[in-house]
Amino acid sequence: MIIADGGNDGIIRFRMGDTRGQVIARGHGERKKLDQLNSPSDVLVVQNSNSLIICDRQNRRVLRCYFHNNQRYLYISNDNKLGGQHGTLVTGGHGQGSSINQLNESIYLFVDQHQNLYILDNETHCVMKWNKDAKEEIIVAGGHDKGNTLRQLSHPEEFFVDTLGNIYVADSLNHRVMRWSKRAIEDTVVVGGNGKRKEANQFNLSTKLSLSHKKYKKDPMSKKH
C-alpha cells in the first residue's frame, strides 16, 4: 500500500504485515526542486515501469519517480524533461494559473489502460489528459470556468475513466456526477444536480466515486448508503 502523506510532504509504503510505514519519497522542505514535495495529494503505482506518479499539490505539478535499481528508495533526477531514465517533471511547475502548461490545485490522478495520464484540477474546474508520449496535455472535461451548465464543473473532487474512455466526475459544488463521452454532443448528468438536500435524487457535496458493475457515490454530508 502506497500513501501520499500530504501533511508530512512524503510518500509512505506499507507492506503486508507492516506496523510501521517506510518513507520512499520525502519532501526535503517545502520548495520546488525535483527532490522536494509540498503537500502531495495523490500517488499512482505504474507496475510496468516500476515507477510512481505523484500529484505534488502545493508545487502545482505532477512528478514521475522511478524506483532506482529495484532498491527501496526513489531517485528523482533534475533533468526537467518528460521521460528520461529516472524521475522527471511530467507537467506543471510553471506557477499557479490556467494556461495549458500550468496547474492550479491538482488533487487527483488517473492512468487508463493505454497509460494515458489524467489530472483533475479543482481550482480551474477541469480534467486534463496527457496522452502517452505527448508533449502537452488537453482539457477533456470542464475548462469553461466555474459554473453549473453541462459544459462546466464547480470544484470537482474525484473522477474515473472507464474502458471506453468515458469520464465520470464528482462535481462537488454542483452536487452531481457528470459523464463526458468522446462522441456525445453534450455532457450528461448521471445522478444528482437537483439541489443540495437529502432526497434520493440529490447530493450534498458529492466528492468521491468508483465504478464497477454498478455506480457507487460517496456523499459525506447526506450520508446515503
pLDDT, one tens digit per residue, over 68-106 is 654 434 433 333 333 333 334 454 444 444 444 456 666
Comparing 53 with 49, the larger pLDDT belongs to 53
- pLDDT at position 110 over 80: yes
- pLDDT the model gives residue 7: 85
| Greater model confidence, 109 or 196 | 109
Q: What is the pLDDT of residue 107?
A: 73
Say which residue, 29 or 4, is predicted with more confidence: 4
Per-residue confidence (pLDDT) for residue 169, from 0 to 100: 92
Q: Which of 65-81 are b and which e, b meaning 16 or more Cβ less than 10 Å from the residue's Cβ? A: bbbbeeeeebebbeeee
pLDDT at 47 over 80: no
| Residue 33 confidence (pLDDT) | 67
| Measured CA angle at 186 (ends 180, 187), to 5 deg | 35
146: DSSP letter = B
Residue 100 neighbours by CB distance under 10 Å: 13
* Residue 167 scores a pLDDT above 50: yes
Query: For residues 196 and 77, which has the higher predicted lDDT (pLDDT)?
Result: 196
The pLDDT value recorded for residue 148 is 92
**pLDDT value for 44:** 85
CATH 2.120.10.30 fits 100-225, yes or no: yes
Amino acid letter, 216 = Y
Which of 104, 195, 202 minimizes the C-alpha distance to 148? 195
Contacts 24+ apart (CB under 8 A), 190-198: 190/215, 191/215, 191/217, 192/217, 193/148, 197/222, 198/222, 198/224
Contacts of 70 (CB under 8 A, 6+ apart): 50
pTM above the 0.85 mark?
no
Q: What is the CATH architecture of 1-93? A: Beta Barrel (2.40)
Please provide residue 23's backbone torsions phi and psi, each rounded to the nearest 5 degrees: -75, 120
Alpha-carbon distance of 217 to 74, in angstroms, equals 35
What is the overall mean pLDDT for the chain? 73
Domain ranges of the chain: 1-93, 100-225
Residue 103 contacts residue 60 (beta carbons within 8 Å):
yes
User: If you average pLDDT over each of 76-90, 100-114, 128-142, 157-171, which comes out highest?
Assistant: 157-171
